[in-house]
Amino acid sequence: MNTPAQLVAVLGPSGPRVLRQDEAIAYADDLGLTRGDGCFDATLVFAADAATGTPEGARRVLHLDRHLARLARSAAGLTIDSPPAHEWSALVEEALAHPQAPAGESMLKLVLTRGREERPGGVFGYLTVTPLPASTIAARTEGIDVATMSRGMASDAFADAPWLLGGIKTIAYAVNMAANREAVRRGATDALFVSSDGYALEGPTSALITRTGAELTTTPTGATGVLDSITIETLFAAAQADGFTVTHRLMRSQEVPHAEGAWLASSVRGVAPIRRLDGRELPLDQVLTARLGRLAGFPG
């Protein structure tokens, strides 16, 4: 194997188990596999030798507590009983201390499904630690090329309709993945969803930020179905302390290219500047982008 391997660890009835070799872990009737009936969350694991000074064996995870809290909210929205946060934390700790854990900057993904349909045994939870591709890290400085496309729903479609699972990070992301493929088909790297009434929403795995002067704006959650972004929550709190005004409001998709800057933010890739939107160049400000990334807690 030339590629650095992904580490897998499973929440089992007898405690955390880090897989020693590549093996199958999910059954044919797991509702996560057959129905996308589950949720996930993902965040960054800092490199062992990073400028943060994190030593090997004590790897730092970006906002693990907040991601565990959001995973629990997603599970509750699906009426899946999540294992308690301390079990997930123990699993993360055991995985990151494992000698086979990737040493570089990595993605920690926590996956929770409703479990097996045909056999009792409760929910199924596991994590993966996967080295970040160089392209993901490069996007933080080089920027991304974004294509807008319809999400098929109005900006208030999720109000009073909890079965539509707005704001819940389910593993049923087939449309999100198809939107990314459509973006690539159009010569871009990322998709940005637009509501049927013309508002910019979010990316398939990211949230939108625009800047006008000292004001940073993002899309509201709630009726829009947009996921609450931990990156933006962190960034906005720090940015306010740093002199920015921060706003949650609906933006028409035509507004975005007229902003003085726009970014797609996510917990793994960080705050990636949009350098092109539907083929139109956007202003890039490397100093400001680096500042926003640091405010959100990402490695410079």
Note the residues at the interface with a second copy (CB under 8 A). Answer: 3, 5-6, 8, 19, 22-38, 40, 78-79, 109, 111, 113, 118-119, 126, 128, 130, 149-154, 157-158, 161-165, 170-179, 181-182, 191, 196, 225
The DSSP-derived string for 192-243 is EEE-TTSEE-EETTEEEEEEETTEEEE---GGG-PPPPHHHHHHHHHHHHTT
Cα 38 from chain centroid (whole Å): 15
d(CA 198, CA 200): 7
Least CB distance from residue 52 to a second copy, whole Å? 26
Closest CA to 241 of 296, 298, 299: 296
Q: Is the Cβ of residue 142 or residue 182 nearer to a second copy in the bound state?
A: 182
Give me the residue label for tokens 């479609």: 157
Dihedral of the CA atoms 109, 110, 114, 118 (nearest 10)? 70
b or e along 216-232 (b: 16 or more beta carbons within 10 Å of the residue's beta carbon)? Answer: bbbbebebbbbbebbbb
- What is the 8-class DSSP label of residue 164? G
Residue number, 162 or 300, with CB nearest to a second copy: 162
Least separation, in Å, of the C-beta of 160 and a second copy?
Answer: 9
Of 31 and 288, the one with the shorter C-beta distance to a second copy is 31
- The answer to whether 151 and 201 are in contact (CB under 8 A) is yes
User: What whole-number distance in Å separates Cα of residue 153 and Cα of residue 165?
Assistant: 13
Closest CB to a second copy among residues 128, 229: 128
Query: Residue 223 carries which DSSP code?
Result: G
The minimum distance between CB 179 and a second copy, in angstroms, equals 5
CB of 39 to a second copy, least distance (A): 8
Q: Which residue's CB is nearer to a second copy, number 25 or number 290?
A: 25
Of 77 and 299, CB closest to a second copy: 77
CB of 212 vs a second copy, minimal distance in Å: 30
Q: How far apart are CA 182 and CA 19, in angstroms?
A: 35
Closer residue to a second copy in complex, CB, 34/247: 34
Phi, psi of 127, deg, nearest 5: -135, 160
Residues in the chain: 300
Q: Smallest distance from the beta carbon of 214 to a second copy, in angstroms?
A: 36
- Write down the least CB distance from residue 17 to a second copy, Å: 12
Report the run of H or E that residue 89 belongs to, with start and end.
Answer: helix 85-96
